[in-house]
Amino acid sequence: MESSSEGVARVGDGGVVEDPARTEASAPEAVVPGAVAQETVVQETVVPETVTTAVAAIAPASLSPSRAGDFMQCPLLYRFRVIDRLPEKPSPAATKGTLVHAVLERLFDAPAAERTAPRAKSLIPGQWDRLRETRPEVVELFADDPEGERLAGWLVEAERLVERWFTLEDPTRLEPAERELFVEAELDSGLRLRGIIDRVDVAPSGEVRIVDYKTGKAPRPEYAEGALFQMKFYALVVWRLKNVVPRRLQLVYLGSGDVLTYDPVLADLERVERKLLALWDAIRLATQTGEWRPRPTKLCGWCDHQAHCPEFGGTPPPYPLPVTLPVRAAESEGEAQGRMGPG
C-alpha cells in the first residue's frame, strides 16, 4: 500500500468541488445497511420530575455513521428515522449510488485481468434488475416515464460514474480483503457501533486501508473533516475489534473524480470515541425526555418529513414515550462483544 504524508490529501482531475449540501451523498440514503438496531427491554428510566411512572418500551441500542450523522444534522430527523421509522421515498441520486456500489463490488468477482470498464458497465443492467427485485419501491422513480427515456439517461449517468472509477483506481492491481464488510463492536460503555465498509484492502505488510465510494462530488477543503467522520467511525470499530489502527482511510468521489485520503493515528480514534459517547448521551437524553429539536439547514430541502416538521408547519406523530436505555454489556452476559463479517 502506498504511503503519504499524514493528514488530509486530495487528488483529482481538477473538477469543481462543491459543498456537501450539494452532493448526492447529502440526500437521504436509499439503503439502510447501517440502520439502528433496536431491542425491547424493561427497566426504570430517568425522566423529568413531572413523570413518575416507567413502562416497557423500545430504545435505540446501536449507532451507525449514518444515524450519528442524522442526529448531528437534526435530532428530529433522527427521531423520524429511528424512533418513528417514517417511510421515505427512494431518490434517484441515492438509488444510483446503491446501483454503482453493487457494480463495483461484483466486479471483483472476476479475475484481475477481466476487471475492465466494459465489463463493469455490462454489470449495470443485471444489478438494476436485482435492485428492482429486492427493493420494488425503486420502480416508482420512473413510474411517469413510460417510454423509458429518463431511465435510459439515468443508467447512462451510472455508466459514467463507473467509468470514472477506472481513472482513479486500477482494479486489476487490487485484491480486496473484504467487500461490503459488516462490522460491529461494543464499547466498554455499552454503546454498540456498527456499519458496512465498502472495501478493505490489506497490504502484504499487514497495513489496512479502508475505502468508501461516493457517487457525489468531493466537498470543499473546509468540509473535509465532516466527510471523514464516517471513515474515522469505521476505523474506530476496526481498532476496537482487531486492535489495529488502519493505515489509511480513502474516500473515492466518482462524481468529481477526486480521492480524499487520511492517515489516522490512535489519538484520532480516541477523539472520535469520546465524541460518539457524548453524542450517544445526547441521544439517550432525547429518547428519555422526548425533546427532539429540529435544526433547520439548507439540507431540509432533501427531507421527506416536512409534513411532520414544526419548521414547515407540520406536527410530529405522537411520541411513543417512555423508552428505555440500551442494554449494557454487563447485562448481556455471554454475548459476543464484537463482530466483523458479513451483515
pLDDT digits (tens, 9 = 90+) for 231-252: 999 999 999 999 999 999 999 9
For the residues 171-198, what does the mean pLDDT come to?
96
DSSP 125-174: HHHHHHHHHH-GGGGGGGTT-TT-HHHHHHHHHHHHHHHHHHHH--GGG-
Q: What pLDDT sits at residue 64?
A: 97
* pLDDT at res. 52: 31
Alpha-carbon span 231 to 222, nearest angstrom:
17
Distance CA 236, CA 244 (A): 9
- Looking at per-residue pLDDT, the higher value among 36 and 325 belongs to 325
Task: Over range 2-23, report the average pLDDT.
Answer: 33
Q: Quick one: pLDDT at residue 223?
A: 86
- pLDDT higher than 70, residue 58: no
**In the predicted structure, residue 332 carries a pLDDT above the cut 50:** no
Q: How high is the pLDDT of residue 339?
A: 58
- The arithmetic mean of pLDDT across residues 260-269, rounded, is 96
Q: Which three-class secondary structure state does DSSP give residue 342?
A: coil
pLDDT in tens, 79-138: 999 988 899 999 999 999 999 999 999 999 999 999 999 999 999 999 999 999 999 999
Q: Predicted confidence band at 227 (pLDDT cuts at 50, 70, 90)?
A: confident
Crossing angle of helices 65-73/224-242, nearest 10°? 140
Of the two residues 51 and 126, the one the predictor is more confident about is 126
Cell of 39: 431491542
* Confidence check: pLDDT of 316 > 50: yes
pLDDT for 226 equals 85
Integer Cα distance of 101 and 119 in angstroms = 15
pLDDT for the residue 5: 33
What pLDDT was estimated at residue 321? Answer: 53
Residues constituting the chain = 343
- Tell me which residue has cell 430517568: 46
Is 319 a residue whose pLDDT tops 90? no
- Cell of residue 295, nine digits: 435544526
147 Cβ contact partners less than 8 Å away, ≥ 6 residues apart: none
Mean pLDDT of 204-219: 96
Flag whether pLDDT at 314 surpasses 80.
yes
Per-range mean pLDDT, top range of 30-34, 204-208, 298-302: 204-208
pLDDT on residue 13: 32
